[in-house]
Structure 1
Amino acid sequence: MPAMNFESRRSPVFGRGGMAAASQPLAVAAGLKILAQGGSAADAAVAIAAALNVTEPTSTGLGGDAFALYFDAASKKVSVLNGSGRAPANLTLERLQREGLGDALPPYHPYTITVPGACAAWCDLHERFGRLPLSQILEPAEKLAEEGFPVAPVTAYFWQRAAQGQLARSINGRELTLDGRGPMAGELFRNPGLARTLRVIAEGGKEAFYHGPIASAIATVIAEAGGCLTEADLAAHTSTWEEPISVDYRGLRIWECPPNGQGLAALLALNLLSGFDLAALPALSPERLHLEIEAMRLAFADAFHYIADPAFSPAPLADLLSPNYADIRRRLIDPRRADLEFSHGTPPAVSDTVYFCVVDGQGNACSFINSNYMGFGTGIVPLGWGFSLQNRGHNFSLQPGHPNVLAPGKRPYHTIIPALATHAVSGDLYGPFGVMGGFMQPQGHMQVAVALVDDGLDPQAALDRPRFCIEPQAAGGKVALEEGMPEATLQRLAEMGHPIEIAGGMARSLFGRGQIIRRDPLNGVLCGGSDPRADGLAMVIDG
């Protein structure tokens, strides 16, 4: 595949009847079809999630997890759906230690498979906010899987890599290939197993996934691979509706999912940046990027310490997100030099993937993210069902006493996070947004929020802007900078002590892939953008 060059421009998309933005055009078309049939933003979101499982299995699917933020226009209330799964009941730290895995769990090991939460999340979102029958919502994806679809270019690149990687090594992985290879751009791919799965869910809902033949196939293949997740683990799974967390950033309230997701990191960084006049600094200047990078380093230091399953180790969220704590932590930022060794703070008491979004004609909005984690996840496929199983459990800590330490029935630190913004005073919708891609996600949320708020960019321009990506778990505090950054900025950041590297071509995937839809509260006009680093687009229906 040719290098991913940014040599053209894309206009933002405007409209009023409803809009969807996703990383695959065929998935956007599925969502718009459901909107045109009278579906809500939730209905369209489920249709897109299902279609993305078909067209971009390199990132997402029924073998993974999902999170959603939903804005109800009538009440102006933001709801959070946590669709992440839990560790098997028989998986303990002691078991890993006995088997010589107590220091590190290999990324594609069957022990990394947590219960897939996506199906329950789709069904629970539909049950609360949907209008149309589930069978109607899943029909576009089922048709794509049964009849086949032409594979998009960026997806083809990563599919071919996975076909030589975990799909080649994992049980039944060849089921998601063409005789062992990944499809080429424009080549048709059929997935009759996934079409069958979608039909079963359309008829029987989430019960048909977590009980019966699908659950049996999941448990059987995991046991065959040497894992320990059982049918009882699947049957016990539930999504949870939770309270969102938020901060006021210069008149916009930015909403995120609470832990076990890492949305907290984005909010911590924005809280720190609210104390600096970023608009007075040129957008890609070393002075501004330095502040953003240091704010993100501080945010990750707290995130890695505090984010865990709140049922086991609740974080002091109100204290962490207080202006007082931001003031204390902000003093650690030296405007002239990088600090590569920030440690977590102790706040004083004061009281990961595909991302897509939808806004319907009534102003309801859904910010949704669905992921297998590392591409196809483990690459392990329940025989005949057409989807791979995630490796989300790789994000557990194996350090005894850590808040995020592995435990039976526990949810791990989760990288996937949707975001949404409302106007702080009126509560009206500003719009859903998100940037997917591992630990890039809170960094992407912060960078596009700054572009939208401090610089007044439209959604497409905000997504087009070159990004940085801290590698928070890498030694030395390395910062990747995207091709397109000014040369003077690169040089000055290095002089300030940032260990930098430049990434271009297909390595741009490091910087994530985002979608944004903004709504004008006065006239209902929607403005959408889609990340040029992926295959997708934003599109509107008439109304």
Structure 2
Amino acid sequence: MRDFQLPGRSPVLATEGMCATSHPLGVKVALDTLARGGNAVDAAIAGAVLLGLCEPQMTGLGGDAFVLMKPAGSDDILALNGSGRAPAAASAQKLRAQGLKAVPPTSPHSVTVPGAVDAFCALSDTHGKLGLADTLGPVIRYFETGVPVAPRVAFDWSESTDMLQGSARDTYLVGGNPPGIGHQFALPGQAEVLRRIADKGRAGFYEGEVAADMVATLQAAGGVHTEADFAATACDWTDPISGTYKGTELVEHPPNGQGATAILMTNILSHFDIAALDPFGAKRAHIEAEAAKLAYDARNRLLADPDHTARLAHMLDMGTAEKLAALINPKRAMGAAASLTESVHKDTIYITVVDRDRMAVSLIYSIFNNFGSGIASDKFGILMQNRGAGFTLDRWHPNEMGPGKRPMHTIIPGMLRENGRVTMPFGVMGGAYQPNGHARFLSNMVDFGMDAQTSIDAPRAFSDNGVMKVERGYSDTVRAELYAMGHAVVVPDGPIGGAQAIRIDESGYLEGASDARKDGCALGY
């Protein structure tokens, strides 16, 4: 139980259904969907789509999604890969010939075909109750009339104005400036797109006028996308991967997501007595940072499109973690484990919903960078993701850009399972931080007995590309000790990540937790 004399949030308890996400209106729409007969899938879709309006710098119809889902009456977990592919004419060789060492994140070459809409359609068709038209109906009016810009959203918006280009500046800026807190922001063009999806399903987005608008905008900017690339988009059902940390099973989405990185990191941490350390002390933060360096190095070398990832078993093997753990000096920071070649940033939304039948959805949905590529379709204002910046241009690398290929992805939904029972869908936003965030969230609960809300509230640190970001929640003494160990310590300008979780208690109630680093909340009924 938290100390009620200190700032913080209590967990939210309910029985019939619950949602936790990063904006209150997303939670409201999800709960309204449950209350009118929808299930967790319907609610997650409605809430996620609305977040594309409430947090347009984070996500939108031009993005990708990954989903873990527990059906009602079962403890099996299904995985859905809603990430898009590079166009058929994509070529790393041509970009190398231009002298490029990496995919420019604000170029059309960074734009992979958006996969989220196809994933939402597939989820609704196979596991929803209401149907897509009924699910999206109440959401559309918000896109038409607008919502007030929330404080964290305004902060992110002001940091990212320069990302926007062309017609995107007309759609997402107000007189050339980012909208302030409380500004009523609407996307009427996307309201029309949603009406077409509600009417025609995936064809309303991937075919016809909407697809033609996206393709024409990309081609005008120098992209090689075609309408055939959009029409061919298809999500994939796949099997999740998992590892066990001190009796709790951590279930992750398989590649091309980076979930294997979180499992490898927890496997490395299992070789240390983390529970004997101060949870907010320098020694724990140091070991966590060193484990992250090693796990992320493996990610950068091994993870890619699932058709091109050949060493997943090696990455998940406990013997690999044991050898890596032996490289950690508990008193001294190592240099960078290897040069980080992928372009990894930090912008995502996460939503989790559990309904009265205990169907559970863990869904993460993103356009990658703040405002993605910065390119929006001219007619409908659909911001295009820049997931292609996650490719490398290194020849023969498993994650080398190629035609019809999926890039390595940062977004990873998570679930926990204990003694065979699914106990918690959860997610930690924050781009590169996400695997580290999953490992820390789990360790906070398993090693230190924190509830989900306390685990989320706890201060964070992240060793990112040679710099150790340490939130202000840590003391100056801890920062000084980390510096003395050899870490390049900085206090980040903004918070590290954001998290949401719902615990499914065996006695029957639901316990929701939501990160104060975002604008959202957990609510149930």
Q: What is the TM-score of this pair, normalised by structure 1?
A: 0.92
Q: Is the 8 A contact 1:108 1:391 kept in 2?
A: yes
**Alignment correspondent of 1:501:** 490
Q: Given the alignment of the two structures, is residue 219 of structure 1 paired with residue 219 of structure 2, yes or no? A: no
- 2:354 counterpart of 1:359: yes
Distance in 2 between the 1:170 and 1:468 partners?
Answer: 37
What's 2:204 paired with? 208
The answer (yes or no) to whether the contact 1:262–1:307 under 8 Å persists in 2 is yes
Cα distance in 1 between the residues matched to 2:60 and 2:350: 12
Match of residue 517 from structure 2 = 533
TM-superposed CA distance for 1:419, in Å, is 0.7
Matched, 1:512 2:501: no
Residue pair 2:163, 2:370 contacting (<8 A) in 1 also = no
Q: Is the 8 A contact 1:246 1:267 kept in 2?
A: yes
Q: How many residues align?
A: 513
The one-letter code of the counterpart of 2:484 is E
Between the aligned partners of 2:521 and 2:229, the Cα distance in structure 1 is 38
The answer on 1:432 being equivalent to 2:425 is: yes
Aligned positions of 1:382-531 closer than 5 A: 382-423=377-418, 425=419, 427-471=420-464, 474=465, 477-503=466-492, 507-509=493-495, 511-521=496-506, 523-531=507-515
- Residues 38 and 101 (structure 1 numbering): CA distance in 2 closer, same or farther, change over 3 Å? farther
Query: What amino acid does structure 2 have at the position aligned with 1:487?
Result: D
Provide the alpha-carbon RMSD of the alignment.
Answer: 1.5
Cα distance change of structure 1 residues 73 and 280 upon mapping to structure 2, 3 Å threshold = farther
Secondary structure at the aligned position of 2:261 is classed as helix
Alpha-carbon distance, 1:294 to partner: 1.1
Question: Residue in 1 aligned with 2:258?
Answer: 262
Does the 8 Å contact 1:197/1:386 carry over to 2?
no
Tell me, yes or no, if the aligned pair for 1:170 and 1:378 is still in contact at 8 Å.
no
* Aligned 8 A contact 2:255 2:304 in 1: yes
Following superposition, the deviation at residue 434 of structure 1 comes to 1.0
Instruction: Note if contact 2:460-2:473 (Cα within 8 Å) is conserved in structure 1.
Output: no
Task: Trace 1:337-348 onto structure 2 (pairs within 5 A).
Answer: 337-342=332-337
Kindly provide the CA deviation profile for residues 280-305 of structure 1, in whole angstroms up to 9, marking residues without a partner as x.
11101112111111111110111111
Shift of 1:230: 1.1
Q: Distance in 2 between matches of 1:386 and 1:33?
A: 27
Contact 1:53–1:60 under 8 Å retained in 2: yes
Contact 1:363–1:429 (8 Å) recurs in 2: no
Secondary structure, counterpart of 2:86 in structure 1: coil
The amino acid across from 1:432 in the alignment is P
* C-alpha distance in structure 1 between counterparts of 2:468 and 2:329, whole Å: 17
On the 8 A contact 1:518/1:526 being kept in 2, the answer is: yes
User: Are the counterparts in 2 of residues 41 and 366 from structure 1 also a CA contact under 8 Å?
Assistant: yes
Residue in 1 aligned with 2:224?
A: 228
Instruction: Give, in angstroms, the shift of residue 487 of structure 1.
Output: 2.5
Distance 1:266 1:171 in 2: 38
Give me the whole-angstrom Cα distance separating, in 2, the residues matched to 1:387 and 1:158. 19
Give 1:92-131 correspondences, 5 Å limit: 92-98=91-97, 100-131=98-129
Q: Which among 175, 180, 183 is matched to residue 179 of structure 1?
A: 175
Q: Report the Cα offset of residue 54 of structure 1.
A: 1.4
Residues 93, 102 of structure 1: 8 Å contact kept? no
> What amino acid maps onto 2:440 in structure 1?
Q
CA distance in 2 between partners of 1:208 and 1:307 (Å): 33
Query: 1:348 maps to which residue?
Result: none
CA distance in 2, matches of 1:479, 1:72: 40
Deviation at 1:202, TM superposition (A): 0.6
TM-score normalised by length of structure 2? 0.95
- Supply the distance in 2 between the matched residues of 1:72 and 1:314 (Cα, whole angstroms): 28
In structure 2, C-alpha distance between the alignment counterparts of 1:325 and 1:379, rounded to whole Å: 39
Correspondence for 1:197: 193
Q: How far did residue 101 of structure 1 move? A: 4.3
The answer to whether the Cα contact below 8 Å between 1:171 and 1:379 also exists between their aligned partners in 2 is no
Judging changes above 3 Å, is the alpha-carbon distance between structure 1 residues 14 and 101 closer, same or farther for their aligned structure 2 residues?
A: farther
Secondary structure at 2:503's aligned position in 1?
strand
Aligned-pair distance for 1:317?
Answer: 2.2
Is the contact between residue 82 and residue 240 of structure 1 (CA under 8 Å) also seen in structure 2?
yes
Whole-angstrom distance in 2 between the partners of 1:128 and 1:290: 45
Structure 1, unpaired ranges of 5+: 1-6, 345-351
| CA distance in structure 1 between the aligned counterparts of 2:501 and 2:389, rounded to whole angstroms | 29
Q: Does residue 330 of the first structure (1) align with residue 325 of the second (2)?
A: yes
